[in-house]
Structure 1
């Protein structure tokens, strides 16, 4: 599917950029539905990194460094990590260093200092909420289910469904990981799926449903 998308695109460069943007979700069918990753698809993902190479510098976490490069660095790390796990031969030509971990707690209080902004930032990293990935971002999610629950609820109440879908996906991942949650993510996923539109929201809610089912 991925290779065909690149081969048939009028602008192959834009198609490769789209793979980089989708990131680790390229592997969602293989990870969640038991569909084998086609070798040509793995090659297409590797080609996207060859054509648009990521920075090899370790990106500091916000607020020490800028947010956008840090988020993209984590997304690239996730894609390369899964490519290595699913198709090691294709991954030999690509590399993406692991960025600095996200901040989780306020050192003074031991709690999330600004949970609205923190939950939105975690939502931007929702492509990491997949089986087969684990690291500092996942540890941050495990350490703050209440902040993620508050962030998801706030986004739904504000009718910011793209943000809600991304944050709820972390809640679905936490449920699949066996973490106790202060709310059930399943009704939120269904509500978002029924009241919002767009391909990105549809993808996030579909992945959340698969994570919740197990």
Structure 2
């Protein structure tokens, strides 16, 4: 299989797994959802890769709905780690290291941590230590608001920088102001949205709790730019904060209703459904 065909197969399989997770979140489908995804796949390797792509969100039906985590699901996730193992050493955070490997390490950690929780023991061969280090989010007055790992996003500025600049260090973007730190930070936090699930906690979550206004501004900006996938990912953090009782500067419920109207594929639908479940809304 050519690299292009392989990537297409991986993307298609990831979309299929997202649909299965969404159905399970809605109470549709049978048991052992993850194992069934692998067993019925025409390309088992692509199916196992999809588990790593969807990541911790694979576990959303078990954390937020009535789906029961099956031992066969644990075996399938463990097999995906065996076939696509995380790096032996934890990548350095930006700017010392490249952003993407570090972000993948955070997502791998989230998946391994939830697997250990649901399986009530860490399966052999699953190793994904929690990364360290954090870029800094500063407010317009240059005082430190929080520090946390950040993720690559679809925002053009976020996609090319390794670290997060302070407001004065980046070039002006097309919206005018030089204070763009919250923009880049919120988009990158969106790329870590699989961590916005119950049962996980760490510096990423602490950063979200310390900067709900930056997340609200980022979600609003993404909607205005019609970047609905990014808006949904950032809004998940707002939903998690709301579930924890954090005061929010923006009501995420109408925002999620707006995002549902624009489609965007199974991944966006899964993000919206998870956010709605976090907020305790019955209909996802």
**TM-score if structure 2 supplies the norm length?**
0.72
1:154 aligns with 2:188: no
**Two-structure CA RMSD over aligned residues (Å):** 1.6
- Relative to its length, the structure with more helix (as a share) is 1
Equivalent in the alignment of 1:100: 132
Whole-angstrom CA distance in 2 between matches of 1:196 and 1:147: 25
Counterpart Cα distance in 2 of 1:185 and 1:101: 29
SS in 2 for 1:105: strand
1:70-89 aligned within 5 A:
70-89=102-121
Q: Does 1:109 find its partner at 2:176?
A: no
Partner of 1:50: 82
Partner of 2:195 in structure 1? 128
- CA distance in structure 2 between the partners assigned to 1:61 and 1:13 by the alignment: 30
Map 1:197-212; keep pairs closer than 5 Å. 197-212=264-279
Large movers: runs of 4+ above 6 Å: none
TM-score when scaled to structure 1? 0.95
Deviations 1:8-54 (A, max 9, x none): 11111110000001111111001000321011011100110011100
Contact 2:137 2:182 in 1 (8 A): no
What's the counterpart of residue 24 of structure 2?
none
How far off is 1:186 after superposition?
0.8
Note the C-alpha offset of 1:187.
Answer: 0.7
Query: Is 2:91 the counterpart of 1:59?
Result: yes
Give the superposition deviation at 1:79.
Answer: 0.3
Count how many residue pairs are aligned between Structure 1 and Structure 2.
214
Structure 1 stretches lacking a partner, 5+ long: none
Distance 1:131 1:111 in 2: 23
| In 2, Cα distance between equivalents of 1:36 and 1:163 | 30
Query: 2:130, 2:121 → 1: CA distance?
Result: 20
Tell me, yes or no, if the aligned pair for 1:61 and 1:67 is still in contact at 8 Å. yes
CA-to-partner distance for each residue in 1:75-117, whole Å, 9 max, x for gaps?
Answer: 0000000000010446232110111243243395224741111
The alpha-carbon deviation at position 129 of structure 1 amounts to: 0.4
Q: What is the distance in 2 between the residues matched to 1:159 and 1:101?
A: 32
> 2: distance between equivalents of 1:122 and 1:62?
14
Q: Which residue of 2 aligns with 1:213?
A: 280
1:3 aligns with 2:35: yes
Say yes or no: does 1:196 pair with 2:228. Answer: no
The residue that corresponds to 1:14 in the other structure is: 46
